[in-house]
Chain A
């Protein structure tokens, strides 16, 4: 149980392109999903917290107009990197926390490797 699917796993595109990444909780409902960024050989850096039906909460230094987050249902959150540039190239990972049951941990997707040429 507690499977999180992230799609696509790999994106290579030209500078200026907008890229959408999907995060789905397959077998549970998640009121809250999280988006992280990870650089090589570094730990995960929280970008934003996505709440179903409301605006996402962004961490300091993360541009909300650059990284658009939509959490329209209890099983789906999307991250759109708008007008992506080479410095946006990174490994993006989402996680989801099961809504019911109390004291539930976060489960992670397999990440999306984004390369902007």
Chain B
């Protein structure tokens, strides 16, 4: 079993839809949780960075962490074609520790 599980998709939604992306994990030591967006042939771009359980909102993006269920989510409101990319969840046991990535979910937002 992988430490971090993420549905690879692909996921296609119409423009304007709410997108829900999820990851589950098995290591209870993980404390820091991140979502990265990666466009084709580019490096990952940090979208959200959260510590421990709770919600964090930034514009159209909301990150949720439920440590009791070992489950994290990223919600994208009013999705746009420019949101089409691969979304990677990542987590670590400490801020200076190495990241463990999910496999990435490929998202396409159709105009």
* Chain A interface residues (CB < 8 Å from chain B): 2, 4, 6, 32, 34, 42-44, 46, 49, 91, 93, 95, 97, 102-111, 113
Contacts and interface: CB of A to CB of B under 8 A. Distances in A.
B108 to A, nearest CB: 14
Contact of A103 (B45, B46, B95, B99): B95
B98 A43 contact: no
Interface in B23-48: 32, 34, 36, 41-46
B96 A32 contact: yes
SS class, residues of chain A in contact with chain B: strand
A71 B91 CA distance: 24
Contact of B36 (A42, A97, A108): A108
A103 B51 CA distance: 9
For chain B, the bracket of interface size reads 20 to 34
B32 A105 contact: yes
A91 B51 CA distance: 29
B9 to A, nearest CB: 11
A95 B96 CA distance: 12
B101 A44 contact: yes
Contacts of A6: 43
